[in-house]
Amino acid sequence: MADTKKDALREQIALQEIRKALRGLRFGSLTVIVQDGIVVQIDKTSKSRVDYSSMDRISEGEGI
């Protein structure tokens, strides 16, 4: 019985951490590492997109 409660608590904590890692992530990936059925690590990789839309205005003489 104690293991069932402990497993449920681990699951709640893991899901909470996954939700927290996903918050605010626009571009990127989330990797969940599991060992012996237990989440042991969460890796978050965030990507930044470069916006070149202002380049057209600069090349047309508008300056920076």
Residue 50 has pLDDT above 90, yes or no: no
Residue whose tokens read 């909470």: 16
Work out the pLDDT band at 49, boundaries 50, 70, 90: confident
11 found inside a domain: yes
Q: Which residues contact 18 (CB under 8 A, 6 or more apart)?
A: 30, 32, 39, 42
pLDDT of amino acid 54: 78
Range of the domain at 33: 2-47
35 found inside a domain: yes
| Mean pLDDT of the 48-61 span | 74
Look at the chain and report how many structural domains it folds into.
1
Q: What is the pLDDT of residues 2-46, one digit of tens each?
A: 789 999 999 999 999 999 999 989 999 999 999 999 999 999 999
Residue 59 has pLDDT above 90, yes or no: no
What 3 state SS string does 21-44 have?
HHCCCCCEEEEEEEECCEEEEEEE
**Which of these, 37, 42, 34, 1, lies nearest to 18 by C-alpha position?**
42
52 found inside a domain: no
